[in-house]
């Protein structure tokens, strides 16, 4: 499992300095059911906007 998860979406509440993600878990889904052919066909469902 990855030790470091990087994220450049600084409007997410889990974004931390150095482009790190401080969420306890990450949930990624595909636009095409269970199969994706590239990163554009996926979304991070862990995202929550900063308040």
- Residue 7: the pLDDT is 95
- Residue 13: the pLDDT is 97
Query: Whose CA is closest to 2, among 19, 36, 25?
Result: 25
- Give the residue, 2 or 5, on which the prediction is more confident: 5
Mean pLDDT throughout 15-39?
94
Q: Using the predicted structure, report yes or no on whether residue 1 has a pLDDT greater than 80.
A: no
Mean pLDDT throughout 10-30?
96
- Residue 2: the pLDDT is 73
Query: Whose CA is closest to 24, among 42, 41, 51, 48?
Result: 48
Q: Using the predicted structure, report yes or no on whether residue 17 has a pLDDT greater than 80.
A: yes
């Amino acid at each position: 499992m990855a030790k470091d998860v990087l994220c450049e979406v600084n409007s997410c509440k889990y974004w931390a300095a150095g482009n790190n993600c401080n969420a306890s878990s990450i949930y990624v889904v595909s636009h095409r059911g269970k199969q994706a052919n590239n990163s554009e066909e996926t979304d991070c469902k862990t995202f929550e906007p900063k308040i």
